[in-house]
């Protein structure tokens, strides 16, 4: 089977029709003249069908989970149940203003409260907030909580350092820096935290150690209990990055492993759609020490009534304008209660089974840098291809020609020419076998073909260097770069 992506010669939305001539915006009574817009917003007047056809055509030039296996490691691209989409659009969910009186949103508060209690079980940490917008936002909030905790203990002047493994997601050091900490990387050994290096690094300066488990090499940090002991004995906090929680549902949880605070990504483990880059939904889970610092409000149940509690004197305050992404929380709740106890355990076991199976199959084509027993994802190294002048990037582009999404590439940085592959529990054995076959065709193709890939998508290899060198970021930029005499005609083409 040869894959061919749709390739529409679709103009930009502003080239679908003539832009109306400039005219002042309509007057608003009582509005001083200087506040008035002198020229109406420049945007086309289109029929609904024109708009629908335009964006439908554009969508056909995009991979999604319902078109292709989406092997991005650490992103957990599982099936997003259609059921959740239907439920989130109910009037009783979508048509609620966050400032409605509590008595009129008891159902919304109940969904959020139930999801919180469920996630407390899943994480083994009792205090939950659904406020953060996504994973990195949860990291930032958690680090502010750690900061406030040490402030209260009079230790913040000393505890200035956040430790993290060299395999950490980029958001970890970025969040730590935003929260005013200095960051220090702990070198890995065989893909896991080097306990001796960690022991040497912890000190009275340690505020927190941020860890993903299983980590970004797909390996479970088997020394986790010793790691927790090491961090705690230095007086530091242990932070759980929940990006890879999918692998351990029902097997272990952050609470049992000794973590003090965690963030989860509902858009990964709990199957809310990734939306082409977002929205996500971040969750904060905290133990007794950090629980009082969670953002306000907290949801409280008294008798049969739910209310928002703002009386939390130690709280860091607000981290987002509303409580969280309710529409996504509802989707995650539907996913969780559908699976239930046995189902969530099965999710982890099947995801790990898929990953080990595919790892074993693809390990025949490229070396696997670490031990073969992995959790949700695994790494390959494209180093051997370099002898043929082929890079991991070329392989990724060639995979796209097979109609499957490429893995995460060049991450983590400890592996040369890394490919990070995750196909979660919703991929069938047939899909895994087809992915393996596609991978074999790609990796054994000629260097010429690999360099020329992709050939079967809407565009050929995209020149990303040029995009950065001459930033053209809007229609306004396109107009500025188009000579005057062409301005009357289509102006969608970049220079």
* Residues within window 416-475 making contact with another protein, judged by CB under 8 A: 425-432, 452, 454, 457-464, 466-468, 471-475
483 in contact with another protein (CB under 8 A):
no
Least spacing, CB of residue 485 vs another protein, in Å? 20
Least spacing, CB of residue 204 vs another protein, in Å? 21
Interaction pattern, residues 92-121, with another protein; x per rule: CB under 8 A: xxxxxxxxxx-xxxxxx-xx--x---x--x
Q: Which residue has the tokens 């305050």?
A: 317
Least spacing, CB of residue 121 vs another protein, in Å? 5
Which of residues 67, 158, 160, 482 is near another protein by CB under 8 A?
Answer: 67
Q: Which is nearer to another protein, 21 or 387 (CB)?
A: 21
Query: Which residues have C-beta within 8 Å of that of residue 448, sequence separation ≥ 6?
Result: none
* Residues within window 354-393 making contact with another protein, judged by CB under 8 A: 354, 356-357, 360-361, 373
Residue 162 parent element (H or E):
strand 161-165
Interaction pattern, residues 305-344, with another protein; x per rule: CB under 8 A: ---x-xx----xxxxxxxxxxxxxxx--xx-xxxxxxxxx
Give how far Cα 464 sits from Cα of 64, 407, 468, 470, 479, Å. Answer: 22, 18, 6, 10, 21
Which of residues 83, 196, 300, 437 is near another protein by CB under 8 A?
Answer: 83
477 in contact with another protein (CB under 8 A):
yes
Which of residues 146, 219, 286, 294 is near another protein by CB under 8 A?
Answer: 219
d(CA 347, CA 204): 40
Q: Which is nearer to another protein, 254 or 387 (CB)?
A: 254
CB atoms within 10 A of CB 233: 10
- Which residue in 10, 96, 479, 104 sits closest to 323, CA to CA? 96
Q: Which is nearer to another protein, 135 or 291 (CB)?
A: 135
> Binding residues for another protein, how many (CB under 8 A)?
209
Which of residues 209, 220, 270, 370 is near another protein by CB under 8 A?
Answer: 220
Query: Which residues have C-beta within 8 Å of that of residue 296, sequence separation ≥ 6?
Result: 309, 310, 312, 315, 317, 318
* Residues within window 123-182 making contact with another protein, judged by CB under 8 A: 124, 133-137, 139-141, 144, 147, 169-171, 173-181
Contact (Cβ atoms closer than 8 angstroms) between residue 137 and residue 169: no
CB atoms within 10 A of CB 115: 26
81 in contact with another protein (CB under 8 A):
yes
CB atoms within 10 A of CB 26: 8
Q: Do the strands 261-265 and 237-242 form a parallel or antiparallel pair, or are they unpaired?
A: parallel
Q: Which is nearer to another protein, 34 or 485 (CB)?
A: 34
Least spacing, CB of residue 22 vs another protein, in Å? 11
51 in contact with another protein (CB under 8 A):
yes
Q: Which residue has the tokens 């392989």?
A: 395
- The tokens describing 54, both together, are 């335009």
Q: Which is nearer to another protein, 155 or 387 (CB)?
A: 155
d(CA 184, CA 189): 16
Q: Which is nearer to another protein, 387 or 477 (CB)?
A: 477
Least spacing, CB of residue 387 vs another protein, in Å? 24
Q: Do the strands 408-409 and 305-309 form a parallel or antiparallel pair, or are they unpaired?
A: unpaired
Which of residues 41, 387, 488, 489 is near another protein by CB under 8 A?
Answer: 41
DSSP string, 9-26: -PPPGGGSSPPPPP-PPP
Contact (Cβ atoms closer than 8 angstroms) between residue 276 and residue 75: no
Give how far Cα 125 sits from Cα of 78, 255, 305, Å. Answer: 25, 5, 24
Least spacing, CB of residue 291 vs another protein, in Å? 18
């Amino acid at each position: 089977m040869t894959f061919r992506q749709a390739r529409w010669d679709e103009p930009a939305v502003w080239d679908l029709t003539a832009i109306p001539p400039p005219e002042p915006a309509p007057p608003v009574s009582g509005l001083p003249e200087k506040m008035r817009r002198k020229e109406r917003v420049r945007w086309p007047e289109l029929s609904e069908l024109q708009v629908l056809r335009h964006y439908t055509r554009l969508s056909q030039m995009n991979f999604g989970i319902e078109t292709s296996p989406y092997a991005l490691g650490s992103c957990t691209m599982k099936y997003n149940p259609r059921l959740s989409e239907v439920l989130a659009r109910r009037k009783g969910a979508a048509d609620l203003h966050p400032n409605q009186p509590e008595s009129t949103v008891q159902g919304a508060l109940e969904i959020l409260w139930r999801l919180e209690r469920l996630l407390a079980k899943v994480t083994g940490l009792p205090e939950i907030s659904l406020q953060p917008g996504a994973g990195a936002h949860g990291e930032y909030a958690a680090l502010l909580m750690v900061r406030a905790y040490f402030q209260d203990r009079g230790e913040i002047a000393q505890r200035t350092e956040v430790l993290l493994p060299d395999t950490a997601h980029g958001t970890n050091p970025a969040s730590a820096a935003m929260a005013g900490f200095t960051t220090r990387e702990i070198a890995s050994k065989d893909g896991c935290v080097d306990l001796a290096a960690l022991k040497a690094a912890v000190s009275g300066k340690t505020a927190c150690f941020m860890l993903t488990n299983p980590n970004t090499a797909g390996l479970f940090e088997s020394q986790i209990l010793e790691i927790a002991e090491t961090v705690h004995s230095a007086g530091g906090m242990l932070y759980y990055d929940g990006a890879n929680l999918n692998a351990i549902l029902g097997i272990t949880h952050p609470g049992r492993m000794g973590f003090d605070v965690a963030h989860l990504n509902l858009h990964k483990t709990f199957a809310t759609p990734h939306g082409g880059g977002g929205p996500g939904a971040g969750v904060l889970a905290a133990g007794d020490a950090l629980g009082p610092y969670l953002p306000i409000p907290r949801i409280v149940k008294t008798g049969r009534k739910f209310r928002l509690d703002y009386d939390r004197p130690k709280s860091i305050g607000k981290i987002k304008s509303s409580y969280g992404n309710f529409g996504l929380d509802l989707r995650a709740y539907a996913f969780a209660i559908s699976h239930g106890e046995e189902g969530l355990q099965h999710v982890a076991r099947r995801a790990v089974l898929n990953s080990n199976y595919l790892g074993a199959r693809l390990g025949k084509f490229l070396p696997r840098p670490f031990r073969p027993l992995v959790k949700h994802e695994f790494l390959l190294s494209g180093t051997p291809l370099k002898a043929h002048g082929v890079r991991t990037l070329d392989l990724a582009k060639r995979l796209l020609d097979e109609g499957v999404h490429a893995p995460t590439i060049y991450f983590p940085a400890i592996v040369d020419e890394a490919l990070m592959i995750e196909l979660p529990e919703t991929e069938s054995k047939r899909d895994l076998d087809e992915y393996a076959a596609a991978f074999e065709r790609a990796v054994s193709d000629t260097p010429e073909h690999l360099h020329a890939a992709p050939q079967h998508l809407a565009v050929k290899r995209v020149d990303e260097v040029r995009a950065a060198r001459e930033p053209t970021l809007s229609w306004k930029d396109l107009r500025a770069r188009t000579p005057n005499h062409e301005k009357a005609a289509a102006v969608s083409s970049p220079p």
